[in-house]
């Protein structure tokens, strides 16, 4: 009885969702009826292909356990993956233009696949290198590392080198206005490129490659400084609250609770408005305010974590022993607590850096973060965003804004991959 009720409810729910979806689609556009029918037939075809695949597999292998115990969903997954791979390969080898008109979809798909493959191979080689070179400890670390984490570490290293040596690597200065504006990326003179400027120039003739490289220095550097400040503030106060307890702990915790009830980006915007209205809005001032404001806002999150971690450590016997030995507060915090709170704090540092970095990029994108003439990725995306509308007939032009946005995404993805691996490793989870 209950089984029937359950299955009936589930079925009704699914049917209702599908019907609602169809109604919404039709409400949007009657022309999507054809699209919907095609999709329906495609799904039906895939379902029957999956059934057929499993049946043929059972017959061909004499009912081998692999096929015998295969749920229908898994069979469907295999067929779907196969279809996607075949379609991808077919689409990849389509001609890039028809009668001189570029097919932007194919071109973008090729770039995406090539980029993906290059990164995958680079990460694999990097992991191989790490496994054979270095100390015993580092080699052991690389042996247990998934490919995504190797990719993350590689990207972080590259960004660090580029941002430290930006002045040496970049071919031109970040504020330098060169000869021609709006040179197309790609360096192909036939479509308006110039080999001197491999990624083209922007509307007022600044080299995009140089600005991207200096952007690494400015954006990543500022985000790093801000995160360090947030950790200094939040970490110190958090450990103090955990060690001393009492009214200090209560006061700080309630303050942090109140501050955390306001969404971070909104609060940052409010404070930046006030700061600029109050003390002038020269570009370097705005940048300093932004660093301080974001550091304070993010330090509340760091405070929460370091207080929680600290409270767990403070009740340990070795802290009791150190207290009985008559050690002072600095010794307790730096020599006893900090080494034991290392792993969660390091993971938090990675995540916090991502948040700060994204907040700064968003603020710059909104025009209240890092100010021109400093090159910055968020500002570059906003300035170049109009080019994206040319994608259909000039794919190269549309790349410019995506490059800066992609540079932001690549770093945060890389950091997240590494943090994910570290958390997985330290938690010892198998599933």
Partner 1 sequence: MQRLLLGLVTLFVVSIIIFVAVNALPGDFAEAILGQGATPEAVNAIREQLGLNQNAVTRYFSWLAGAIRGDLGVPLSQALFAGNFGTTAVGTDVTTVVDQIIPRLKNTLFLAGVSAAISVPLAVTLGVLTALYRNTAFDKSMNVTTLSAISSPEFFIAYILILFLAVLNPVFPSLSNIFPGMEFSERLTRTMLPALTLTLAVTAQMMRMTRAAIINLLASPYIEMARLKGLSPMRVIVKHALPNALAPIITVIALNLAFLVTGVVVVEVVFVYPGIGQLFVDSVKIRDIPVVQACCLIFAAVYILLNLTADILSIISNPRLRHPK
**For residue 133, what is the DSSP state?**
S
Q: How far apart are CA 118 and CA 134, in angstroms?
A: 24
- Minimum distance, C-beta of residue 368 to partner 1, in the bound complex (Å): 6
How many residues make up the chain in this entry? 431
Q: Measured from the CB atom, is 296 or 314 closer to partner 1?
A: 296
Q: Measured from the CB atom, is 94 or 416 closer to partner 1?
A: 416
- Minimum distance, C-beta of residue 73 to partner 1, in the bound complex (Å): 7
Using rule CB under 8 A, residue 137 touches partner 1: no
Which of 233, 292, 362, 423 binds partner 1 (CB under 8 A)? It is 362
Q: How far apart are CA 36 and CA 22, in angstroms?
A: 8
Using rule CB under 8 A, residue 83 touches partner 1: no
**For residue 41, what is the DSSP state?**
H
First to last CA, the chain: 34
- Footprint of partner 1 on 211-270 (CB under 8 A): 257-259, 261-263, 265-267, 269-270
Q: Measured from the CB atom, is 229 or 286 closer to partner 1?
A: 286
Q: Measured from the CB atom, is 226 or 412 closer to partner 1?
A: 412
Residue 130: partners with Cβ closer than 8 Å, 6 or more residues away: 138, 139, 141, 142, 145, 150
- What does the DSSP assignment read for 78-109? HHHHHHHHHHHHHHHTS-SEETTEE-HHHHHH
- Footprint of partner 1 on 138-197 (CB under 8 A): 148
**Residue 390, CA distances (Å) to 102, 208, 386, 398 in order:** 12, 18, 8, 6
Using rule CB under 8 A, residue 389 touches partner 1: yes
- Minimum distance, C-beta of residue 412 to partner 1, in the bound complex (Å): 4
Using rule CB under 8 A, residue 117 touches partner 1: no
Nearest by Cα to 375 from 120, 204, 119? 204
Q: Which two tokens stand for residue 191?
A: 């479509």
Using rule CB under 8 A, residue 408 touches partner 1: yes
Q: Measured from the CB atom, is 213 or 271 closer to partner 1?
A: 271
Q: Is 429 helix (H, G, I), strand (E, B) or coil?
A: coil
- Footprint of partner 1 on 8-67 (CB under 8 A): 10, 17, 24, 27-29
Which of 236, 253, 340, 385 binds partner 1 (CB under 8 A)? It is 385
Using rule CB under 8 A, residue 274 touches partner 1: yes
Using rule CB under 8 A, residue 312 touches partner 1: no
Q: Measured from the CB atom, is 173 or 372 closer to partner 1?
A: 372
Using rule CB under 8 A, residue 388 touches partner 1: yes
Residue with tokens 């968003």: 362
- Whether a cis peptide bond, with omega within 30° of 0, leads into 373 is yes
Cβ neighbours around 331 below 10 Å, total = 13
200 torsion bin: left (phi>0), alpha (psi -120 to 50), beta (else): left
Name the residues that contact partner 1, by CB under 8 A: 6, 10, 17, 24, 27-29, 71, 73-74, 77, 81, 104-105, 108, 148, 257-259, 261-263, 265-267, 269-274, 276-278, 354, 358, 361-362, 365-368, 378, 381, 385, 388-389, 391-392, 398, 401-402, 405-406, 408-409, 412-413, 415-417, 420, 431
């Amino acid at each position: 009885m209950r089984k029937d009720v359950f299955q009936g409810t589930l079925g009704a729910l699914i049917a209702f969702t599908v019907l609602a979806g169809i109604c919404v689609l039709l409400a949007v556009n009657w022309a999507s009826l054809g699209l919907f029918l095609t999709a329906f037939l495609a799904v039906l075809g895939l379902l029957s292909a999956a059934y057929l695949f499993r049946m043929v597999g059972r017959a061909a292998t004499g009912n081998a356990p692999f096929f015998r115990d295969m749920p229908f969903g898994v069979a469907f997954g295999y067929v779907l993956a196969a279809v996607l791979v075949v379609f991808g390969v077919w689409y990849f080898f389509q001609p890039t233009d028809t009668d001189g008109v570029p097919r932007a979809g194919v071109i973008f798909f090729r770039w995406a696949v090539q980029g993906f493959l290059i990164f995958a191979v680079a990460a694999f080689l990097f992991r191989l290198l790490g496994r054979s070179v270095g100390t015993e400890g580092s080699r052991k670390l690389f042996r247990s590392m998934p490919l995504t984490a190797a990719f993350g570490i590689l990207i972080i290293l590259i960004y660090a080198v580029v941002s430290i040596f930006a002045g040496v690597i970049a071919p031109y200065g970040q504020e330098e206005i060169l000869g021609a504006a709006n040179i197309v990326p790609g360096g192909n003179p036939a479509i308006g490129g110039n080999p001197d400027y491999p990624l083209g120039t922007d509307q007022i003739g600044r080299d995009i490659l140089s600005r991207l490289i200096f952007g690494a220095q400015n954006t990543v550097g500022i985000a790093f400084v801000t995160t360090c400040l947030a950790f200094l503030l939040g970490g110190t106060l958090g450990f103090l609250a955990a060690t001393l307890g009492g009214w200090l702990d209560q006061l700080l915790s309630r303050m942090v609770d109140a501050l955390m009830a306001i969404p971070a980006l909104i609060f940052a915007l409010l404070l930046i408005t006030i700061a600029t209205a109050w003390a002038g809005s020269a570009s370097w001032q705005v940048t300093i305010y932004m660093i301080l404001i974001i550091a304070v806002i993010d330090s509340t999150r760091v405070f929460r974590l370091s207080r929680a971690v600290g409270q767990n450590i403070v009740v340990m016997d070795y802290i009791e022993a150190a207290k009985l030995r008559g050690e002072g507060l600095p010794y307790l915090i730096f020599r006893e607590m900090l080494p034991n709170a290392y792993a969660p704090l390091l993971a938090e540092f990675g995540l916090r850096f991502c948040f700060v970095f994204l907040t700064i990029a968003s603020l710059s994108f909104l025009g209240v973060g890092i100010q021109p003439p400093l090159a910055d990725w968020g500002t570059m995306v906003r300035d170049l965003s109009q080019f994206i509308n040319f994608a259909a007939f000039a794919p190269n032009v549309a790349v410019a804004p995506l490059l800066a946005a992609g540079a932001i995404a690549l770093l945060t993805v890389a950091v997240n991959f590494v943090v994910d691996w570290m958390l997985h490793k330290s938690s010892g989870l198998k599933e």
